[in-house]
Amino acid sequence: MIDKPTLDTNIMIYAFGKQDDDRKKIAKEVITKCNIISLQVVNETVFVLLKKFNFKFQEVEPIIQFMKLKFVISDLNTHILDQTIKISTRYSFSFWDSMMIASALNNHCSVLFSEDMHHNQIIEDRLQIINPFK
């Protein structure tokens, strides 16, 4: 497998959330390994930081700028939506996790870092899910 990693929203949340623990350090290390994320990651990160961590928009805006500068942000489209449905049906992932996986596959990623999915699972013989906190 050629190493082309991407990451799930939970990695961003650990990196930028207000908690200060080992997960924050690990998440920041994972971010340095990735150069592509789904627009879904941007949307979910902003939502969680604003709603669950009570960030002010002025605190979130630099994080958005960081994501724009650090990563290629891949669009979501109807092709990814169609893949989402197939992945959800085949692997029994939630809609949102399936969309994350579909986006990773669409962008030819070989690794998806996520705490929320099945560690070491291989999807479609080309995408490995890795929980960096294990």
Give the C-alpha distances (Å, rounded to integers) separating 108 from 67, 96, 128, 131.
20, 19, 12, 19
Query: Helix, strand or coil for residue 124?
Result: coil
pTM strictly above 0.85: yes
- CA–CA distances in Å: residue 119 to residues 18, 50, 53, 89, 108: 25, 28, 27, 19, 19
C-alpha 132/C-alpha 4 separation (Å) is 15
Among the listed residues 31, 33, 57, the one whose alpha carbon sits nearest the alpha carbon of residue 49: 57
> What domains are defined for the chain?
5-130 (3.40.50.1010)
How far is residue 10 from each of residues 24, 35, 67, 124, measured CA to CA in Å? 11, 16, 14, 23
Per-residue pLDDT of the chain (134 residues; tens, 9 = 90+): 457 999 999 999 999 988 778 999 999 999 999 999 999 999 999 999 999 999 999 999 999 999 999 999 999 999 999 999 999 999 999 999 999 999 999 999 999 999 988 899 999 999 999 999 99
Amino acid found at 5: P
